[in-house]
Amino acid sequence: MCKRWQPWLLDKFNTVYEATVAVRKRTLLGGLRGRLLEIGPGTGANLKYYSPEVEWTGVEPNRFMHAPLLRAASAAGLRATISGHGGERLDCGSGSFDAAIGTLVLCSVGDVDAVLREIMRVLRPGGSFVFIEHVAAPPATRTRAVQRVVSPLWGAFADGCRPCQETGRMIESVFGPLDAESFLVPFPVIGPHLAGSARKR
């Protein structure tokens, strides 16, 4: 799928999807303060949830997302900086952020482990990684079978997205125990979700 069309597609998806996660986003994102780093912010669906007091940096490799992202940041009254790097190699000092955020992004980054290790590096001790991700359904369920079957086609049309990824386990392997909740959104294939936070100890 052409990168140029992804902002349009993402906005269409978000007009329906946001209502299913708005309460969780308000809870998880609304209380964050200080210097925030968001990985793969897309067109900026999360920006309206942040306090205008925060200093926000977005790492978004698809440059077609940058213009809508800047508009969303301005509408939210945020001090915003955008980097066109991928999350696998952050151009930021170690320990320089109070919190990092990723929503619906670890399913499509090229190297999940590298992104998580970079997030860990740039967080200050005690800083948190806040996430909302769709995840693999439990093994041997019908949804997991569907996820497995549609994976190749899904990935081709949805920017490499991997519906069968056990993202929670991957975050846990880098950060240790999570404070997270599983829930379902009413979407086929990507219904199973995990939302919460992990702390840099």
Ligand X SMILES: C[S@@+](CC[C@H](N)C(=O)[O-])C[C@H]1O[C@@H](n2cnc3c(N)ncnc32)[C@H](O)[C@@H]1O
Q: Which residue number, 10 or 198, has a Cβ lying nearer to ligand X?
A: 10
Positions 98 through 117 that interact with ligand X (CB under 6 A) = 103-105, 108-110
Interacting residue with ligand X among 32, 40, 147, 165 (CB under 6 A): 40
Q: Which residue number, 32 or 39, has a Cβ lying nearer to ligand X?
A: 39
Binding mask 46-65 toward ligand X (x if CB under 6 A, else -) reads -------------xxxx--x
Q: Which residue number, 154 or 175, has a Cβ lying nearer to ligand X?
A: 154
Query: Which H or E run includes 56?
Result: strand 55-59
Interacting residue with ligand X among 28, 32, 37, 45 (CB under 6 A): 45
Q: How many CB atoms lie within 10 A of CB 138?
A: 10
Q: Which residue number, 63 or 145, has a Cβ lying nearer to ligand X?
A: 63
Count Cβ atoms within 10 A of the Cβ of residue 188 and give its class: 0-12 exposed, 13-18 middle, 19 or more buried: exposed
Count Cβ atoms within 10 A of the Cβ of residue 126 and give its class: 0-12 exposed, 13-18 middle, 19 or more buried: exposed
Whole-angstrom distance, CA of residue 103 vs CA of residue 116? 13
**Site residues (vs ligand X, CB under 6 A):** 10, 14, 39-42, 45, 59-62, 65, 86-88, 103-105, 108-110
